[in-house]
Amino acid sequence: MTLDFLGTLQRTHKCGELRVEQDGQDVVLMGWVNRRRDHGNLIFLDLRDRTGITQVVSDIEIAGPAHAKAEAARSEFVVAVKGRVRKRGEGLENPNMATGQIEVVVKELLLLNEAKTPPFSPSEDAIANEEVRLKYRYLDLRREQMQKNFLLRHNVTRAIREYLSNDGFLEIETPFMTRSTPEGARDYLVPSRVHQGEFYALPQSPQIFKQILMISGFDRYFQVARCFRDEDLRADRQPEFTQIDLEMTFPQQEMVFRTVEGFLGAAFKTAGITLPAGPFLQMSYDDAIRKYGIDKPDMRLPAMVELSDDLDPAQRETLKIEQKLPILGFIIPKAGGLSGTERKKLLSEVRTGFGESGLDLLDTERLKTSEAFAPLATLITQKLEATPEDLIVVVTPKLGTPEMWNYDRQWIYKRVGALRLQLAQKFADKHKLFEQTGTANDFKFLWVTDFPMYEWDEETKTWNAAHHPFTSPHEDDIKSGALFNDKGSVRALAYDVVLNGTELGSGSIRIHRQDVQAEIFRSLGMSDEEAKQRFGFFLEALEYGTPPHGGIALGIDRIAMILAGASSLREVIAFPKTAKAIDLMVDAPSPATEQQMKELHLKIAPRS
């Protein structure tokens, strides 16, 4: 096929722009053939670019040579059309298209490039399987939904940049090739050619650098920062992802919160959603666990309710419930009214899920039928504020509890919290609380504060930092000595921002004193030697007049995903990796050449 040259031709309009107002105007459009319908002497080409689609009509009577080209054109060919805008005839308008009132009648058609028959058509709503989409990502990204997602993502990032810039934050870049930053994942390493046997690490976050920028007096920093973490992937994880990362000097927690609320408000506004004025809800970690059984509560669903004091010892005994452990209830709205068989099936499903854990369900429907227990059923219904439409779930510990309950009482709360989420998913069609209606109501934000500083690792019998080790403990817990003699009780000045049960970001007020930082390293089982070797430069920097500082980082990919109503981060990352950390389009990772390996002083060890 002979292709045409572009020459000096320029577009006058984009494919989504023309309206009846342009009726009779001569225009030049360029784009891809979205669809082609051949009626012999009339050929319709739907011409597509980022802005939309215009129907182009080629009439053999009007332009013979152009018509021959329209005959040759196929889906995804790139064409230029010179033609005249014409109002569509009565009844031929398409109200579903922004340009549906008009069409463009071809005078001249240039075939700028041909296209192989694509493995899937970007114009079709039926989506190809994900592997094919990722391999042919350039075609996948042509799809209208993807173009929308990236426009949204761009607008969100831009709004955040603008908000923070106006709020006195400076955008400063920090290096990609650096030393390990401890965020709890494995590092990606880059071997050094010049320094044999040495490696750079890609940053898991700009954490240390942003703290150093505070030491350097920049007062307020932000960055749209790429972070690299080698960890097992899930739908909401990618090996490289983007954070909106910020840090400020002389902060109170609330100052960080107000900043984040401000920029999220601006970001949501660009997506057409006006968040209510005023601060987000705030809850301590302990409360979150007690009421929701998780540190990232989904506030769209009702909380758990502690029913422990509503059953007296005699009732517990009759019902074979452990005397001392908590009894927790919750409702799943509108999921009630189950038939006898359905209820039994559900009860048995949940009981199977409990396995050997020692948890059981209290069947409130059955309680109602017993004279002695009917009042208890009524009391539970009232406490849970359940209507007859709702499903009531009450979880009890059986007599004779497993050992493990003795050391982690929270376990029961967490297990019931997980059941709450699982049943909410199961009955999502009934309660409809997860459906997006396009209003601020769909988005329930929350600050979770006062996380524990340490987590006990039962296997290694050691305390681990629950966050990165630069997080400051509460001043009170340093003063009281708890940091040294009661680690389990130490609270961190750490906070998470949570949206609809997803952790959007986390941050903390940092340690700004060298002595406290050194102590934290020590308390995490790091010898002074090791701390010096890994973080010596940072400990030293802390000694040169470090101001109190703190900050946070939020996942932009996650924000974009939620706003786009997408179910995976891959829908809002242009070139993402699969669950096995492969880029299917460029086929990475890939082996290095012998020459490269030699230069890098590397050898692959045989598989053991």
Q: Given the rule CB under 6 A, which residues bind ligand ASP?
A: 183, 205, 207, 468, 506-508, 551-553
CB of 206 to ligand ASP, least distance (A): 7
Distance CA 522, CA 209 (A): 22
Rounded Cα distance, 175 and 203, in Å: 8
Q: How many CB atoms lie within 10 A of CB 520?
A: 21
Q: Which of 247, 175, 259 is nearest to 217 (CA)?
A: 247
Pair of tokens at residue 190: 């880059």
Q: How many CB atoms lie within 10 A of CB 329?
A: 23
* Nearer to ligand ASP (CB atom), residue 326 or residue 550: 550
* Residue 381, phi-psi category: left (phi > 0), alpha (psi -120 to 50), beta (remainder): alpha
Is it true that the peptide bond before 589 is cis, omega within 30 degrees of 0?
yes
Contact yes or no for 210/245 (Cβ under 8 A): yes
Are 103 and 57 within 8 A, CB to CB?
yes
Closest alpha carbon to 189 in 465, 589, 607: 589
**Do β-strands 220-228 and 170-171 pair in parallel, antiparallel, or remain unpaired?**
parallel
- Computed on alpha carbons and rounded to an integer, the radius of gyration of the chain in Å comes to 30
Rounded least distance, CB 570 to ligand ASP, Å = 21
Residue placing its CB nearer to ligand ASP in the complex, 136 or 445: 445
Residue placing its CB nearer to ligand ASP in the complex, 231 or 458: 231
- What is the nearest approach in angstroms of ligand ASP to the Cβ of residue 189? 19
Q: Judge contact between 48 and 29, C-beta under 8 A.
A: no
Tell me the closest approach of the beta carbon of residue 205 to ligand ASP, in angstroms.
Answer: 3
Provide the CB-side half-sphere exposure for 296 (13 A, CA): 11
HSE-CB of 102 using CA atoms within 13 angstroms: 24
Comparing CB distances to ligand ASP, the nearer of 230 and 363 is 230
Q: Which is nearer to ligand ASP, 106 or 497 (CB)?
A: 497
Q: Which is nearer to ligand ASP, 137 or 512 (CB)?
A: 512
| In the complex, least distance from residue 367 CB atom to ligand ASP, rounded to whole angstroms | 46
Nearer to ligand ASP, 293 or 551 (CB): 551
Q: How far is the CB of 14 from ligand ASP (least distance, A)?
A: 39
Minimum Å gap between C-beta 238 and ligand ASP is 14
DSSP string for residues in 301-354: SPPPEE-GGGS-HHHHHHTTB-SSS--EEEEETT-----HHHHHHHHHHHHHHH
Residue 553 or 559 having the CB closest to ligand ASP: 553
Phi, psi of 446 (to 5 degrees): -160, 140
Least distance CB 296 / ligand ASP (angstroms): 14
Smaller CB separation from ligand ASP, 122 or 507: 507
**C-beta separation of 216 from 232 below 8 A:** no
CB of 496 to ligand ASP, least distance (A): 9
Cβ-based nearer residue to ligand ASP, 54 or 506: 506
Least gap, CB of 534 to ligand ASP (angstroms) = 16
* Closest CA relative to residue 571, chosen from 150, 16, 70: 150
The C-alpha atoms of residue 145 and residue 571 are separated, in whole angstroms, by 9
Distance CA 522, CA 447 (A): 30
In angstroms, what is the minimal distance from the CB of 499 to ligand ASP?
16
- CA dihedral over 14, 16, 22, 28, signed as positive or negative: positive
- Reduced to 3 states, what is the DSSP secondary structure of residue 22? helix
Q: Where does 486-527 have alpha helices with state H?
A: 514-523
By C-beta, is 494 or 573 nearer to ligand ASP? 494
- Compare residues 130 and 240 and give the one whose CB is closer to ligand ASP: 240
Beta bridge mates, 511:
none
- Report residue 62 as tokens: 């009007």
Query: For ligand ASP, which is the closer residue by CB, 358 or 551?
Result: 551
Beta carbons of 280 and 445 less than 8 angstroms apart = yes
In whole angstroms, how close is the CB of 555 to ligand ASP at the nearest point? 9
Which residue has the CB atom at the shortest distance from ligand ASP?
Answer: 205
The H-or-E segment that residue 85 falls in is strand 78-87
Least distance to ligand ASP from the beta carbon of 553, Å?
Answer: 4
Q: Are strands 328-332 and 445-449 parallel, antiparallel or unpaired?
A: unpaired
Shortest distance, position 183 Cβ to ligand ASP, whole Å: 5
Q: Which is nearer to ligand ASP, 144 or 183 (CB)?
A: 183
